[in-house]
Amino acid sequence: MKEVVRFLREARVGYLFFTSLLILGLIFGAFEIIDQILLTETSQETMRWLYLSRGVSAALLLMLWTAWTVYNYRSYYEDRLEATRLRYSDIIEHSADAIITIDNDLNITSWNRGAEEILGWRRDEIIGERITKLIPNELIEKKELECIDFGMHYRGYVQNYETERLTKNGEKKLVNLTESYIRDENDDIVGRSQILRDLTDLKMREEQIQQSERLATVGHMAAGVAHEVGNPLTAISSLVQVCQRKTDDEFLQDQLKKVREHIQRINKIVRDLVDFSRPSSMQAENVQINEIVESAVGLLKHDARCRDVDFKMNLDEDLPLVSCVPDQIHQVLVNLLLNAVDAMKEVKDPHVTITTESQDEQVVMSISDVGKGIKEEHKSHIFEPFFTTKGVGSGTGLGLSVSHGIVNKIGGSISVESTYGEGATFIIQLPANK
Residue type, 96: A
Mean pLDDT of 143-151: 89
pLDDT surpassing 60 at residue 8: no
Q: Please write the tens of the pLDDT for every residue from 227-281.
A: 677 778 778 888 888 888 888 888 888 888 888 878 877 776 666 566 555 555 5
**pLDDT band, residue 349 (cuts 50/70/90):** confident
pTM, full prediction: 0.44
Q: How many CB atoms lie within 10 A of CB 157?
A: 13
Domains 98-198 and 200-279 agree in fold: no
| 368, containing H or E segment | strand 362-368
Residue 357: exposed, middle, or buried by beta-carbon count in 10 A (0-12, 13-18, 19+)?
Answer: middle
Q: CA–CA separation, 217 vs 199, rounded Å? A: 27
Q: Work out whether strand 108-111 and strand 157-166 pair parallel, antiparallel, or are unpaired.
A: unpaired
Query: CATH number of the domain at 200-279, out of 1.10.760, 2.60.120, 1.10.287, 2.30.30?
Result: 1.10.287
Which of 320-345 are b and which e, b meaning 16 or more Cβ less than 10 Å from the residue's Cβ?
A: bebebbbbbbbbbbbbbbbbbbebbe
Residue type, 312: K
Residue 45: exposed, middle, or buried by beta-carbon count in 10 A (0-12, 13-18, 19+)?
Answer: exposed
| 338, containing H or E segment | helix 326-343
Query: CATH number of the domain at 98-198, out of 3.40.50.620, 3.30.450.20, 3.40.50.150, 3.40.1350.10?
Result: 3.30.450.20
Which of 98-127 are b and which e, b meaning 16 or more Cβ less than 10 Å from the residue's Cβ?
A: bbbbbeeeeebbebbbbbbebbbbeeeebe
pLDDT score of 376: 80
Q: Return the CATH fold of 283-434.
A: Heat Shock Protein 90 (3.30.565)
Asked if 344 and 369 count as a contact pair (C-beta separation under 8 A), the reply is: yes
Q: Is 421 helix (H, G, I), strand (E, B) or coil?
A: coil
In this structure, of 152-161, 175-184, 221-230, the range with the lowest mean pLDDT score is 221-230
Mean pLDDT of 116-123: 90
The domain segmentation of the chain, as residue ranges, is 2-93, 98-198, 200-279, 283-434
